[in-house]
Structure 1
Amino acid sequence: MNRINGKNSVKLVSVVMLSVSLMACQSSHEKVTTVTPSNNQSGTGTQSSSGETADGSDRKLTVVEGSAQKDNQELAVERIHRLEGSNIEAWLSDHEVKVSTTKLLKAGTNTEEPKYSYTTSIVDLSTEEQREVKVHQPSQAIVKEYVSPDGKFSFVQKWKDKYTADNFIKNLSTGKSIAVKGDNYMELGGWLNNDTYILAAGSMEGRGDIRQIATDGTFTNLAIEDKDVEIFNRFTVSNGRIYYTDSKNNLKYLEAGKTQPSILVEGVWDFEISPDSKHIAVTTVSAPGKLGTELIIYDSVGSQKGSLIAKGELMSYLAWSPDSSRLAFDVYTTEKSGMNGVYIFDSASGKVSPLGSSYSPVGMAYYPKYPLTWSPSGKRLGITIEDNKSIIVTQVIDFK
């Protein structure tokens, strides 16, 4: 459904030659930690490739050799599960994952495309047992459900095909669903509060309607007066605000009941808001003529929290743990001494620690093929990379 999810379609373009290699139960050779800025460095200055903000203040990236055991206790790895040829479709519980497995049946030739088989299974990580489940037939709808913050309602989408969906509001106490009228081409949106769901419905022409949907199924169109947006690639809703990026790489927000957005951060490539809405992880746009991006943490009003978290040539995925205590991200840098691999940022301590890093020559690099995914408790992290033998492999990391 690359038509449906604008975020993933954009990311697939940027994920090129990232190097990831996980090392289980091994002390990391380096640790990256943040440096707390002075009071005059906590603003929203834009980031340049030199590490200076537009107002001239420095953001520092400190690498500490020989990480101490105390600093790495929160990243102690208990076990790594290896799921050959599989990617995670969904976490069903903290120990069960639904996976899709791809197998090569016949290699391609000059005249024929390669042939593959696809199966869907549920894996019990506590026993390593797998049971195959029936996949959706093309005629069946794919259902996606988003529960309100208070757990009383859910917004339900039934995708008839990769372009169109039927929408419903479901009362979780009664099980009854109310149809929401209107065409829908995208799944971008979220709960504004307990009683209102915001949906960027999309359109075959232009950015389409922004619908403010009530729990009784009725809605009004929300006007966003912004000439710098033709289509929403990144659009999300959190704690009474709408957040999105415009064509000039500005991260903007819109307060409930208003039509004029405000700029939160400039020079943004991607962003991810923590589930508790207290932190926004932002990756920056490369400077003209240069290759590189940086990861910075802001609070919900756009003030920088701490200093520069990470830097590299490419970053593909950001993933907050369900309790907002950790942010997983990956970095690729050509230089061996640069940041490479998957890292974890601890939002309480401000520490950044590598899960493991390696470097591979051009043409042999491995990179995340799917978003990084946390288990419901945040004690497990799933990472899917390329694999020479089984096309892809998912490694599920169990933290102690």
Structure 2
Amino acid sequence: MKHHAGKYGFTLLAATLLSIALTACQATGDRLTVVDPGATRQSGQQTPVRGGADEAKAKRQLTVVHTPRQPASREVTVAGTHKIEAASIQSWISEDEVAIETIRLVKAGMTTEEPQYEYATSILNLVNGQTRKPAGEEGQQMDGYMLVKETLSPNGGYSFIQKWKDKYTADNFVKDRGTGETIQIPGDNYLELGGWLNENTYVLAAGSMSGRGEIRQISAADGKVTKLPLEDPDVEVFTQFGVSHGRIYYTDNHQVLKVFDPGQTKPVSLIRDVWDFQLSPNSQYISVSTVTQSGAFQGSELLIYDSAGTLQGTLIGKGDLISYVSWSPESDKLAFDVYTEKKPGMNGVYLFDTGSGQVSPLAPYYASTEPLPHPVYPLSWSPSGKQLGITVDDPTTLLVTQVIEFK
């Protein structure tokens, strides 16, 4: 998604929720803490919310828990930041190098014309600040395509590669990273949704120009494709789709998160009112953001469930809109952005630590203006999870990316 599309998409979505009055309780100096689910429930905590359960109507509360100071190793400690002007991160080449896309305004917008931008791709070294042109495989993989996405298998033995010809169609490949052999997968592809079912199997929601399209199970060893049947009249098109550790998750037309195993044809309902969900890389958690516009509660919440759909602790975040939720590679941190129109409330990018249960604001490290700018591109983790890239609008250079380095 290019800069202007991401920016206006966020603005439009936020505007539709401006009328929602929400207040998030966050006292100065306090931290939002997830309560140990094994401990005695406190006032304001609710039982797990599942699809079809009466307790789904219960009103959850954002609870500030006063806790003793955690050991330094469990605190979010920032070692430094790297500023990348007029650019967004496309991918991480290594812990020190990132593929970036720079943006330059070619022609300003007119009353009857949209502004025109020029984009260029390069590799930036975060240590010395030098840039270079993509070389070898880095350059070849983009030849003739507008976007390339590569997803490694859990053990790194294979990768699933999508090479997009345009916004609507992609060529798919499976690569054996040990031998370098690449197999092209047959079949049209209109969506970027999928994931590794296990070490040797990728599942793709291919999409279609009419209907929801096929769910394809792809063998990494030989590229063989098997169609997975799904009997669910409540899903016309997949908008949210995830795969992990032998299970397939998606949301239906009524914002219900469902799950099924290959070989099953009917899904099981897990959670209702789901706007977005993200599976943690280790498959232990599901981050769920909700948007409710009727009833006792209106707004957006961020909660953590286990893979069976059981609520873990209390709220992580609350506001008018929660966007750009991203797990770190080791699943020990969750970064997310919260937009709230009225104060006091949560605003900006936050970091949730699964070990300590603490939520820490990152605004001091990427923003120097008020009101806080919000990301216009997905939050981007480095391979080790020790660095996080945040891209926001900038009045001078159009975009600016801050890479926050954690100790």
TM-score by length of 2: 0.83
How far residue 115 of structure 1 moved from its aligned partner, in angstroms, is 4.0
Q: 1:250 aligns with which of 256, 263, 266?
A: 256
Secondary structure of 2:196 counterpart = strand
Give the match for residue 265 of structure 2.
259
Contact 1:178 1:217 survives alignment (8 Å): yes
Give the match for residue 32 of structure 1.
32
Contact 1:276 1:324 survives alignment (8 Å): yes
Letter in 2 for 1:334: E
Distance (Å, rounded) in 2 between the aligned partners of 1:90 and 1:231 = 28
Name the CA shift for 1:170/1:244 in 2 (closer, same or farther; >3 Å): same
Q: 2:398 aligns with which of 385, 391, 396?
A: 391
Q: What are the residue-to-residue correspondences of 1:163-312 with 2, within 5 Å?
A: 163-215=168-220, 216-288=222-294, 291-312=298-319
Distance (Å, rounded) in 2 between the aligned partners of 1:297 and 1:14 = 23
Distance (Å, rounded) in 2 between the aligned partners of 1:54 and 1:376 = 37
Q: What are the residue-to-residue correspondences of 1:156-167 with 2, within 5 Å?
A: 156-167=161-172
Give the match for residue 85 of structure 2.
84
Greater alpha carbon shift after TM alignment, 347-356 vs 157-166: 157-166
Give the match for residue 54 of structure 1.
56
Name the CA shift for 1:279/1:84 in 2 (closer, same or farther; >3 Å): same
The higher relative CO (CA closer than 8 Å, separation ≥ 6) is in 1
Letter in 2 for 1:44: P
Number of aligned residues? 380
Greater alpha carbon shift after TM alignment, 175-184 vs 108-117: 108-117
Greater alpha carbon shift after TM alignment, 332-341 vs 129-138: 129-138
Contact 2:203 2:215 survives alignment (8 Å): yes
Deviations 1:199-258 (A, max 9, x none): 111110010111111231222211111011000001110010000011111011112321
Give the match for residue 316 of structure 1.
323
Name the CA shift for 1:64/1:84 in 2 (closer, same or farther; >3 Å): farther
Deviations 1:50-83 (A, max 9, x none): xx95375854421659x95857963121212111
Give the match for residue 44 of structure 1.
48
Contact 1:35 1:61 survives alignment (8 Å): no
Q: What are the residue-to-residue correspondences of 1:64-143 with 2, within 5 Å?
A: 70=71, 74-110=75-111, 113-133=114-134, 139-140=144-145, 142-143=147-148
How far residue 360 of structure 1 moved from its aligned partner, in angstroms, is 7.8
How far residue 114 of structure 1 moved from its aligned partner, in angstroms, is 3.5
Contact 1:385 1:392 survives alignment (8 Å): yes
Distance (Å, rounded) in 1 between the aligned partners of 2:170 and 2:108 = 36
How far residue 133 of structure 1 moved from its aligned partner, in angstroms, is 4.5
Unaligned runs of 5+ in 1: 19-27
Give the match for residue 151 of structure 2.
146
Secondary structure of 1:296 counterpart = strand
Distance (Å, rounded) in 2 between the aligned partners of 1:10 and 1:349 = 34
Give the match for residue 14 of structure 1.
13
Contact 1:75 1:355 survives alignment (8 Å): no
Give the match for residue 22 of structure 1.
none
Unaligned runs of 5+ in 2: 18-27
How far residue 282 of structure 1 moved from its aligned partner, in angstroms, is 0.4
Q: Within the alignment, does 1:374 sit opposite 2:373 as a pair? A: no
% identity of equivalent residues: 49
Letter in 2 for 1:268: V
TM-score by length of 1: 0.84
How far residue 299 of structure 1 moved from its aligned partner, in angstroms, is 0.6
Name the CA shift for 1:12/1:234 in 2 (closer, same or farther; >3 Å): farther
Distance (Å, rounded) in 1 between the aligned partners of 2:361 and 2:177 = 41
Letter in 1 for 2:276: D
